[in-house]
Structure 1
Amino acid sequence: GAPRRLVSDRGSAFTSKTFKNFCSEYGIKHILNAVASPRANGQCERFNRTILECLRAMNAGYEDDCWDQHVKVIQYGINTTPNKTTKVAPYTALVGAVPNPLADSKLIFEIKESLEKCDLAEIRKK
């Protein structure tokens, strides 16, 4: 279900009337951090730092900036790594099951990418 409270910065996405209505509709208490105070949202800032470190590591050795191609792998790694305190991975805690191996996901991605490159009109003619 919806969270009871949500802490955010003062970005326009969180201060919009639409977001205020969303919080009101779902009974979410929205708490805005002080302006220019990243320490007030420490857990989120720390998590963002982890993601950026992973992106830098995964993009090392590539000439072009292809960080977007690594996001899914990083997301999978974070979601399937057991928490030090609970000893349970976020995915398992949320879904109640162990996720499929990443190889399956990569295979599906490769197949989808190959299909997108196909000229369906040409195939239909045959």
Structure 2
Amino acid sequence: MKFIWKNIVCRFGIPREIISDNSRQFQGRRIQEWCQGLHIRQRFTTVAHPQANGQVEVTNRILVQGIKRRLERVGGNWAEELTSVLWAYRTTPKGSTGESPFSLVYGTEAIIPAELGIPSHRVMNFLKNVMKIS
């Protein structure tokens, strides 16, 4: 519950539902009561049949391929490469929607480091806001 609160609710708000496997940490009385208290619907995939949640399986396959490619090129630890692979995944438009996951969550495309040197309305607003915070 602490992970869900910190990494999902505090970042994105209360979800309408949580889809998970049938493992104990998602089926206990405490998590069920917590979800009920926040009006979160719990849905479970079929035991020993991860294909039931095909969207997650496809995403996991893409992420694993990305990590393997990075490790082949630069070596290192997969956990260190994960954030770069996630960034690439989250900022790439998907064929089904034509939008990136980042833009769907935040309502704008991410400003990538290479863009900072190119004057544009988005970059100027970004830099102006950074200066206010500093």
Q: Same fold (TM over 0.5)?
A: yes
2:29 to 2, 6, 17: 17
In the other structure, the counterpart of 2:87 is 76
**What's the Cα RMSD here?**
2.1
SS at match of 1:88: coil
Distance 1:74 1:102 in 2: 15
In the other structure, the counterpart of 1:40 is 52
User: Percent sequence identity over matched residues?
Assistant: 25
Runs of 4+ in 1 over 4 A off after TM superposition: none
Distance 2:30 2:111 in 1: 36
In the other structure, the counterpart of 1:60 is 72
Amino acid at match of 2:79: D
Q: Decide which structure has the larger Cα Rg and report it.
A: 1
Amino acid at match of 2:61: R
Q: In the TM superposition, what is the alpha-carbon distance from 1:100 to its structure 2 partner?
A: 2.3
Q: In the TM superposition, what is the alpha-carbon distance from 1:103 to its structure 2 partner?
A: 5.8
**Equivalent residues of 1:55, 1:67 under 8 A apart:** yes
State the Cα deviation string for residues 31-52 of structure 1 (Å, max 9, x = none).
Answer: 2222111121111122111111
In the other structure, the counterpart of 2:106 is 95
Distance 2:27 2:64 in 1: 25
TM score, norm. by length of structure 1? 0.70
Contiguous gaps of at least 5 residues in structure 2: 1-12, 116-134
TM score, norm. by length of structure 2? 0.66
Q: In the TM superposition, what is the alpha-carbon distance from 1:16 to its structure 2 partner?
A: 2.9
In the other structure, the counterpart of 2:3 is none
**Equivalent residues of 1:76, 1:102 under 8 A apart:** no
Contiguous gaps of at least 5 residues in structure 1: 105-126
1:4 to 16, 29, 50: 16
